Amino acid sequence: MERPALIGRAFFNMPISSFSIVSLIACELNSRNPATVLDVGCGSGFYGAVVRQYVDMGVGEKTKLEGIEPFVDYKNANWRHYNMVWVRPIRAHLEDFARSSLYDCILFLDVIEHMNRAEGFEILVKLIEHLTPGGILLVSTPGEWVPQQAEYGNELEIHRAFYEPLDFMRMGFVILKDGHIKDQFNQKMTVAKFTNSVLHNE
C-alpha cells in the first residue's frame, strides 16, 4: 500500500479514523465499561487496541469484542485484539444478524460517509436495533464534504455522502462534537451518540 499524504498534520485519503476524535471515543468507552463491543467497519483495527487499553485497562480481554470489515487487505496485527472479525459487507452481515445479538457499545467511526444517505440511515436503524438496554452507538464522520475516490484498491473508500449533525439529532442522537467547528487539531469532525432507552428490543 502507498502511505497516505501527511498535510498540515492531517491524513487525507485514509482507511483510518481521524486522530482528533480518539480521546473522546476512549473516554466514552472507559466511562461506559461495556461488556460487549461491535466495531463496524473496523479497518486496521485501531479501536480494537483502544478497547483493550481503556476498557480492559491493558490486562486480559474481559470485553467481548467483534468487528466487521469488508476489505480483508486491511487485516494486520491489531485484528488479534478482536474475538472475531467478520470479513463481509456490513449490510449483508447486519441482515443476517440474529435479533438476539445485542451489544453494550457499537462503534461506527468514519464509515457512514462511504454510504449513500439512504443506506447510511438504514444501517443506523439496524445498529440501534442491536443495542442492549442502555447501550450506546457512537458515530463519527467528517464535518465537511471531503471528496475521496477509491484508495488502496478499495472501492469502498469512496466518499458517497455528507451527514450534518442535524441528521443525527433528528434520529435521537446527542452531538458530542460539532463538525461545523474546527477543533484544536484544525479538524472538523462530527461525533454523535445514541443511547438506547428501550427496555427490550422486540
Residue 69, classed as helix, strand or coil, is coil
Residue 195, classed as helix, strand or coil, is strand
Interatomic CA distance for residues 8 and 71, integer angstroms: 28
**Best CA proximity match to 179, nearest among 196, 193, 168, 191:** 191
- pLDDT for 154: 78
- pLDDT for 52: 97
Q: Where are the domains of the chain?
A: 6-142+151-195
- pLDDT for 100: 65
Crossing angle of helices 22-32 and 46-54, in 10° steps, is: 40
Domain 6-142+151-195: CATH architecture, name and number where available: 3-Layer(aba) Sandwich (3.40)
Below-50 pLDDT ranges, the chain: 1-12, 201-202
DSSP annotation string for 129-176? TTEEEEEEEEEEEESS------BTTBGGGS------HHHHHTTTPEEE
**Best CA proximity match to 67, nearest among 95, 36, 24:** 36
- pLDDT for 99: 64
Per residue in 72-109, pLDDT tens? 999 999 999 999 999 999 999 988 877 668 999 999 99
What is the maximal distance between C-alpha atoms in the chain? 48
- pLDDT for 27: 97
- pLDDT for 190: 97
- pLDDT for 182: 92
**36-40 and 189-195: which strand pairing?**
unpaired
Q: How far is CA 85 from the centre of its chain?
A: 14
